[in-house]
Structure 1
Amino acid sequence: MRWSELYVPTLRDDPADADAASHRLLVRGGFIRQLMAGHYSLLPLAVRVRAKVVEVIREEMGRIGAQEWLLPAMHPAEIWQKSGRWEVMGEEMFRLKDRKGADFALGMTHEEVIATAALELSSYKQLPQIWYQFQTKFRDEPRPKSGLMRVREFTMKDAYSFDLDQAGLDRSFDLNHEAYTRIFRRLGIPAIPVQASSGSMGGSASVEFMSPTEAGEDLVVHCTSCGYAANVEKATSALATVADDASAPTPEPFDTPDTKTIDDLATQHSVPADRQVKTLVYVLDGQITLVLMRGDHNLVEQKLLDVTAARTARPAQPDEIREALGASPGSLGAVGVTAHPVIADEALRGRTGMATGANKDGVHLRGVDVERDITVGRWADLREVQAGESCPVCGTALEVVRTVEVGHIFKLGRKYTEALGVTVLGPDGTRVTPIMGCYGIGVERAIAAIVEAHHDDAGIVWPAAVAPFEVALVPVGKSDEATDKAVADLYAGLRAERVDVILDDRAERPGVKFRDIELIGIPYRITIGARGLAEGNVEVTTRATGETTTIPLAEAIPHVRTLITTP
C-alpha cells in the first residue's frame, strides 16, 4: 500500500470531547469518526486493525474446535419472552415493530437465537458443540462515552457451548478460558481474569477478563500475593474484628434533630460510622425491602440483585419510604420492623451496642443488638470491598484497580435450553436438556483496550500482530535513480516476504512523515535515503522504544522479519 493512495485523515489537535487516551488517539490518528453518540464509523486503518483482531480470535476459537456461524441481528420478541428477558432487559434493548405490528428487538446478545438453532440437535452423540459468530450488537446505552469503549453499536464475538452434563460444561468453560488467555496475550491486552456476577445472563458462574486503565468504569479487587481477583460486584474481603460495647437491655432512643447522614451522627453525637446501622430502602420486584449496612460500608446493588434474584430493583422514593416506615431518610431503622423483608450485610452479624434510626424524624436508637432487636430475614455479603482490606484467601492487603471489561465467559446452565425446549436423546434413551455456556469478546472495545495499554505522548504503539501496517518504508532526501530503485526493490521484497508494509511516498518533509507514522503507531520504520545508501545502509526504527539501528540494505528485510516475528 502507498500512503498517497490511503485515506488517513490525521488531526493535529485532540478532539475536545475525548475523555480516554484511546478515544483521543483513534480520532487523531484517523481510525474512527463519530456519527452520533455511541455510534462510530471505522475508517480504513481501523478496518485493517479490526480484521487482524478478528483473525486472532478466529484462529484461537478454531484451535478449541469452535465452528463459526452468522446469526440474525434482528430477533422476534417471542424467543425473548420465552426466556423471560423481554421485560428484564428494560430500556437497554432497542425494540421496534414491523409493518404488521409484530414486536422485534435488535440483538443485544444471542442466547435465545442460538438455543433456537440448537433445536435441531437430536442426540447426545452430537455433543459437545461450540458455536461462535462475529455479529453487530445494539444496546441503548444511556451514557455512551470514551470512544469505542462504551457504545451503542458494536461487534461482539459471542460463542456458545452445548454439553450433555455439568462435567462437559466445565470442560468447555475451561477450553474457552484458555483460548481467551491466548487471545489477549496475542493481542497485547493485559487482561486479569476475575470472578464476576452473571447479572441478567444467569447461570452458576462467570469470569470477566479485565484490562487495567484509568478510562475504565469497572473496579477489580486484586491480591498481588496470591492472585485472588474479583469484580467489585463479586469481591469479598476479611474484615478486622471490631470490639463492641455491650448492648442496653433494650434500644434507647435519643434526640437527633439535625442529623440526616452517617457523618452527621458521627460528628454531632460521637457515634463512629462503623458503630452505625445504615438502613437503605429498596423496591425489589415491587416489594418494599430494608437493606442494612454498616455505616461506613457501601452497598453493591448487583450483589443485592444476585442474592435476591430480583428481576427489578430500585431505591424507594421518599413518599414510599414514609408510607412504609413513618419517617424520612436520615432517621430510618429496622428495629421492630416486621411488615417488610429485612436483608442485612454479613458485617453486621453479631454486632452489639450499635446505633440506628428510630423510624421517627429526629430520633435515633443506641444500644442496639442487631440479632436481638432486628428481624433479619436474610444475611448476605452486600458490601463494596475497599483497598487495604485483607484478602479473603491469604490476608494480604487488597488493591482496587480501575479496569475495562474485554471479555466475559459464563456457565449459563439450562436456563435457555429449557426455555426454548432444546432436548437430545441421552445414552439411556431418555430426553436430556443440554447445558450451555456463553463466551463474549467485544471486538472494537478490544481495539480500544490495546490502545489504552500501548500508547505514549506521540501516539499509538500497536503490537505488530494487530498494527494496521507492520512496517513503514520512508524515502527521505532528494530523489535519484539509485534511491528510487532501492526503494522499489525494498518495497517489493518486503511484500514478497508477506510483510504488511506501507510506502510513504508523500511529498512531505521527513518530520511530517515521522510524526504521522508515530501517531498511527506503525511498529517499525525503515528510513532510506541517498546519504545512507552511499554507504549501503538504511535505518530501522522501533516505535515502542524509539531505538534506531543502522542496517546494511541487503539485511534490512530479514532483520525486519525477525523483529516482527519475535514475541
Structure 2
Amino acid sequence: MTLKNVMLMADKTPISVLVPGDREVDLKRLQANLAGVNDISVFEDADFAKFPGLVKGYIGPQDAKKNGITVYADPRIAPGTSWVTGANAKDKHARNVVSGRDFTVDHYVEAAQIKQGDACPKCETPVIIDRAIEIGHIFQLGRKYADALGLTVLDQNGKSQVVTMGSYGIGVSRAVAAIAEQSYDEIGLSWPVEVAPAKVHVVATGKEDVVFETAEKISADLEARGISVMIDDRRGTSPGVKFKDAELIGIPVIVVVGKALEQGNVEIRVRRSGDKSEVAVVSAVDFIAGLLPTLS
C-alpha cells in the first residue's frame, strides 16, 4: 500500500504528516489535534528550498530525522506495517519501507479525511456522512491575523502579549432555510410557532362586507394581544385558492372567516396537525391565545 507524505508548516515548525495513499490530510482536523498550534500551512517553494533533500512528488519519511522534521502519522501507519513511498530522489519510489524500521513516527494523530463507514476513533461506530447546512460556526483563528496586525494586550504582569482570536457567527438566512427544509409536508411549509413569520393567518372567504369586517376585527384584536397576524382579505379570489395559499405558506394557526359566520362562528385550524374547531367570534381571540402555547 502507498504511503503519502505531506509536508506542512505548523506555525514556523516544519512537520511531516503520513497518511495512507488513498487518504488526504484534513488540515482542520489536524490543527484541532495539535495543542498550541495556531496556524498550519502547506509547504511552499521557499520552504522546500530550505530542505534540498526533499524532492516534491517523491518525498518519503526515511530522511525526516536527518532533516530535523517532526513526523506525525495516522494510526494506520502502525509499527511493522510496510509501505511504498517516495525515495527522496526524482522519479524514484521505495518499496517495503517499514514503520519503526526505516522511519520513526514521533506522534500519532487523527488527521486523515474521514470517509463513509470509517470507525469513530472514540466509539468505533461506523461514520455516516451526509449533506448539511452550516447555520453557525466557531473558528479558532489563533494568532495568524493578530501577528499580521500587531494586535497585542497587556497581561496581568503588564507585559505585551499577542491576542489569540476567534470567530463566532450565525447565518440567520441559512437558519431560516434549514428550518423550512425540516418543517414542511406534502402541501407546503409548516412553520414552528417560535420562528413563524406570523402566528395566525386570518382568511376572509365570501363576498359580504361583514366577512371582511369580522376578519379585520379579529386581526386587530389579536395584534392588540401581541399576536402577529397575516390577513388574506383579497376580494374576488375563491376560497379554494385562499385555503391552498394558506396551507402553502404554513402559518401555525389559520382562522377561516366564512360560512360559519352565519352562526356567529369562525373555523380555527392548526396547520401542522389539521385539527379544526368552530369557535364563536367573540371567543376566537381567547381561544387562539390559549392554543398557541400548546403548539410546537
- Calculate the TM-score normalised by the size of structure 1: 0.42
CA displacement, residues 512-553 of structure 1 (integer Å, 9 cap, x when unaligned) = 433443444322211111x222244322233334x1513123
The 5 Å alignment of 1:59-70 reads none
CA displacement, residues 90-149 of structure 1 (integer Å, 9 cap, x when unaligned) = xxxxxxxxxxxxxxxxxxxxxxxxxxxxxxxxxxxxxxxxxxxxxxxxxxxxxxxxxxxx
Deviation at 1:475, TM superposition (A): 0.7
2 CA distance for matches of 1:463 and 1:295?
47
Aligned to 1:524: 253
Aligned to 1:296: 22
2:38–2:143 contact (8 Å) kept in structure 1: no
CA displacement, residues 52-101 of structure 1 (integer Å, 9 cap, x when unaligned) = xxxxxxxxxxxxxxxxxxxxxxxxxxxxxxxxxxxxxxxxxxxxxxxxxx
What letter matches 1:293 in structure 2?
V
Aligned to 2:227: 499
Say if 1:492 and 1:353 are closer, same or farther in 2 by CA, change over 3 A.
closer
Say if 1:492 and 1:284 are closer, same or farther in 2 by CA, change over 3 A.
closer
CA displacement, residues 365-397 of structure 1 (integer Å, 9 cap, x when unaligned) = 232221221244543221233343334444433
Say if 1:392 and 1:287 are closer, same or farther in 2 by CA, change over 3 A.
closer
Say if 1:401 and 1:340 are closer, same or farther in 2 by CA, change over 3 A.
farther
Aligned to 1:276: 2
Aligned to 1:479: 208
| Higher relative contact order (CA closer than 8 Å, sequence separation 6+) | 1
Residue of 348, 362, 370 corresponding to 2:77: 348
Deviation at 1:499, TM superposition (A): 1.8
2 CA distance for matches of 1:333 and 1:289?
13
1:537–1:550 contact (8 Å) kept in structure 2: no
Aligned to 2:37: 309
What letter matches 1:549 in structure 2?
K
Aligned to 1:334: 61
Say if 1:373 and 1:390 are closer, same or farther in 2 by CA, change over 3 A.
same
What letter matches 1:386 in structure 2?
K
2:83–2:98 contact (8 Å) kept in structure 1: yes
CA displacement, residues 441-461 of structure 1 (integer Å, 9 cap, x when unaligned) = 443433333223223455433
What letter matches 2:63 in structure 1?
G
Deviation at 1:413, TM superposition (A): 11
Deviation at 1:402, TM superposition (A): 3.4
2:39–2:142 contact (8 Å) kept in structure 1: no
Residue of 380, 385, 407 corresponding to 2:109: 380
1:283–1:316 contact (8 Å) kept in structure 2: no
Aligned to 1:421: 153
2 CA distance for matches of 1:351 and 1:556?
77
2:193–2:199 contact (8 Å) kept in structure 1: yes
What letter matches 1:334 in structure 2?
P
2 CA distance for matches of 1:462 and 1:376?
54
Long gaps (5+) in structure 1: 1-274, 425-429
Say if 1:451 and 1:340 are closer, same or farther in 2 by CA, change over 3 A.
farther
Larger radius of gyration: 2
2 CA distance for matches of 1:523 and 1:538?
16
Residue of 423, 432, 448 corresponding to 2:177: 448
Deviation at 1:363, TM superposition (A): 4.1
Say if 1:315 and 1:556 are closer, same or farther in 2 by CA, change over 3 A.
farther
Deviation at 1:473, TM superposition (A): 0.6
Residue of 531, 540, 554 corresponding to 2:268: 540
- Calculate the TM-score normalised by the size of structure 2: 0.73
Say if 1:422 and 1:282 are closer, same or farther in 2 by CA, change over 3 A.
closer
Deviation at 1:470, TM superposition (A): 0.7
Residue of 276, 284, 287 corresponding to 1:549: 276
Long gaps (5+) in structure 2: none
Say if 1:385 and 1:501 are closer, same or farther in 2 by CA, change over 3 A.
same
CA displacement, residues 273-292 of structure 1 (integer Å, 9 cap, x when unaligned) = xx331223445667765321
Say what the alpha-carbon RMSD is for the aligned residues.
4.1
Q: Name the count of aligned residue pairs.
A: 280
1:343–1:379 contact (8 Å) kept in structure 2: yes
The 5 Å alignment of 1:88-237 reads none
Deviation at 1:471, TM superposition (A): 0.7
1 CA distance for matches of 2:38 and 2:220?
63
1 CA distance for matches of 2:242 and 2:217?
21
CA displacement, residues 468-503 of structure 1 (integer Å, 9 cap, x when unaligned) = 21111111122243x344324322332333221122
2:120–2:126 contact (8 Å) kept in structure 1: yes
Say if 1:280 and 1:346 are closer, same or farther in 2 by CA, change over 3 A.
same
What letter matches 2:22 in structure 1?
D
Structure number having the greater helix percentage: 1
2:60–2:86 contact (8 Å) kept in structure 1: yes
Q: Percent identity?
A: 34
What letter matches 1:335 in structure 2?
Q
